[in-house]
Structure 1
């Protein structure tokens, strides 16, 4: 299994967003097309990397993010 990923452009990059699933709020730092499988069958998703106010980053599926004020 190849450990390949690719950065994806996104309209909300470096803007404040909220993860709908967890309610976490922060700044969208990157969107990455990434292989998340742990088997021989590859499973690719677009992951959003959100930097929280604490400085830690969390990930969620990019379809789970929305802009906040």
Structure 2
């Protein structure tokens, strides 16, 4: 496979989540399986979460760092 990425379905898409590595909260916009290798000889795939924070800025983190945020009413 020569593609560099593929979209992955996830139950938390469009939900409020927290990046446990940074503590930043935002909306999970996408989960993408990306080839993060710096070499064409060997692929290294990683599932990255794309999160949009309150300012509108998007950042990535490992999907393993994402947890759901529940708001008390």
Structure 1 portions without partners, runs of 5+: none
With normalisation by structure 2, the TM-score equals: 0.86
Aligned position for 1:65: 66
Of 13-22 and 39-48, deviating more is: 39-48
Over the residues paired in the alignment, what is the CA RMSD in angstroms?
A: 1.1
Q: Max radius of gyration: which structure?
A: 2
Verify: 1:15 aligned to 2:12, yes or no.
no
1:21-51: CA deviations, max 9, x gaps? 1111000000000011112322100000000
- Runs of at least 4 residues of structure 1 off by over 6 A? none
Q: Kindly tell me the number of residue pairs found equivalent between the two proteins.
A: 68
Structure 2 portions without partners, runs of 5+: none
With normalisation by structure 1, the TM-score equals: 0.91
